[in-house]
Amino acid sequence: MSDLIQQPQKITDLKTLNKEQLLAFCKQLGLPRFRADQIFQWLYQKGASSFDEMTNLSKDLREKLKEVATINRIEPAAQQKSQDGTIKFLFKLNDEEKDYKVEAVLIPDFYNDGVAKRLTVCVSSQVGCVFGCSFCATGKMGFFRNLSHGEVVDQVQYINEVAEAEYGKKITNIVYMGMGEPLHNYKTVINSADIISDPLGIDLSPKRITVSTVGLTKQIKQLADDSEPFNLAISLHAPSDEKRDKIMPINASMNLDSLEEAVRYYHRKTEKPLTYEYLLFDGFNDTHEDAKNLAKIVNWAPSKVNIIMYNNVAGVELQRAREDRLNAFMKALLKNGVRATVRRSRGDDIDAGCGQLAIREGAPKGKTIAK
């Protein structure tokens, strides 16, 4: 029996609809649920960019879909591969008049025999960022627009294919730590993470998806209220308000006390252990005193701290901490009971720091919270 099709709607970009909205859209067209599932699978599992590829839909239905809908897809614009295997991608968005680009990075970890163990993708959620952290290349661009969930999933889909071709394996982890503050684009991040973890989408366990934030307190609480299954990572980067004020303008409105209050709320509701990110800067936040203060902030609940070695950014005074200072800092953390691991900087020979490639490509200046 052929599918019953009713009145066409205005042209809808299917990649802006989440699963429920796609179901409603199909229902409006008189299509049964399994058709919505098939279309969802074509869009997000098979990466279809045209209706003609959807070969298990009747020809009539494909023609009808062409009349009422489109499929937007971002385009790969540049790619750089580091000697350590890290691959950086630049994607061009489909804005008619603007030349917006975003970045994503594939970070491989290898077993001793050179076989890929983990393949982590760092995705972007916004074009630029409003929060203007002083160490961040994206922060220097300012904010232009939010990505849609389709644009986030496109990054993952494309990189999944590259991962298989380069390393013989699909990606194993996703982190929302690319361009933009993920919780500032809450709906997109949740919709895209839902699609990435959907068995009809990319089918990655939600436990392997991490959303990072500079500390948007309302949205941290919302994650807990919404019982989202994804991991949360707090980008702390400084162990006192005095130091955080110097490098992260967000701290003026959401200081460490208010951040702790939100994180305590999150922990009470989710009972999940907490993850903190801490970029180590030479002579700025790497002393014994800093380690002691960091311990006070994180030790009230089971937690781990990722000490990240900074990718130096041109024009930024803060520099990656020296190796001897890193070692002393790690010893001080251990002494103060902090569970910490070092994340080595990757892709040093390419522009692998967040926003560096887009800046190099000549990004214009957008809005910041300072303006």
Residues involved in catalysis: 103, 354
> Which range touches ligand SF4 (CB under 6 A), out of 91-99, 175-183, 258-266, 358-366?
175-183
Q: Which of 180, 201, 347, 353 binds ligand SF4 (CB under 6 A)?
A: 180
- Whether 341 and 233 have beta carbons less than 8 Å apart is answered as no
Local structure of residue 4 (DSSP, 8 states):
P
Q: If binding is defined by CB under 6 A, does position 138 make contact with ligand SF4? A: yes
Q: If binding is defined by CB under 6 A, does position 131 make contact with ligand SF4? A: yes
- Closer by beta carbon to ligand SF4, 58 or else 253: 253
- Closer by beta carbon to ligand SF4, 62 or else 367: 367
Distance CA 196, CA 193 (A): 5
User: Which residues, including other chains, have CB under 8 Å from residue 27's CB and lie 6 or more apart?
Assistant: 36
CB of 336 to ligand SF4, least distance (A): 26
The CA–CA distances, whole Å, from 94 to 65, 87, 335, 345 equal 20, 23, 51, 31
> Which range touches ligand SF4 (CB under 6 A), out of 155-163, 176-184, 218-226, 335-343?
176-184
Task: Output the DSSP codes for 312-338.
Answer: --TT-S--BPPHHHHHHHHHHHHHTT-
Q: Which of 69, 129, 202, 321 binds ligand SF4 (CB under 6 A)?
A: 129
CB of 139 to ligand SF4, least distance (A): 3
> Which range touches ligand SF4 (CB under 6 A), out of 131-139, 157-165, 195-203, 315-323?
131-139
Q: If binding is defined by CB under 6 A, does position 298 make contact with ligand SF4? A: no
Q: If binding is defined by CB under 6 A, does position 132 make contact with ligand SF4? A: yes
- Cα torsion at 24, 30, 35, 40 (round to 10°)? -30
> Residue 87: which H helix or E strand, with range?
strand 87-92
Distance CA 87, CA 166 (A): 10
**Total Cβ atoms within 10 A of residue 328:** 16
- Whether 196 and 238 have beta carbons less than 8 Å apart is answered as no
User: Which residues, including other chains, have CB under 8 Å from residue 33's CB and lie 6 or more apart?
Assistant: 23, 26
- Closer by beta carbon to ligand SF4, 129 or else 330: 129
Q: If binding is defined by CB under 6 A, does position 278 make contact with ligand SF4? A: no
CB of 352 to ligand SF4, least distance (A): 14
Q: Which of 39, 69, 104, 133 binds ligand SF4 (CB under 6 A)?
A: 133
- Closer by beta carbon to ligand SF4, 202 or else 363: 363
- Residue for token pair 């300072």: 370
CB of 125 to ligand SF4, least distance (A): 9
- Closer by beta carbon to ligand SF4, 201 or else 215: 215
- Cα torsion at 349, 352, 353, 357 (round to 10°)? 100
Q: Give strand pairing partners of 41.
A: none
Q: If binding is defined by CB under 6 A, does position 356 make contact with ligand SF4? A: no
Using CB under 6 A, which residues numbered 204 to 233 contact ligand SF4?
A: 214
**Total Cβ atoms within 10 A of residue 319:** 14
Q: If binding is defined by CB under 6 A, does position 176 make contact with ligand SF4? A: no
CB of 134 to ligand SF4, least distance (A): 9
CB of 141 to ligand SF4, least distance (A): 9
Closest CA to 294 of 216, 234, 220, 217: 234
Which residues bind to ligand SF4, rule: CB under 6 A? Answer: 129, 131-133, 136, 138-139, 179-181, 214, 354
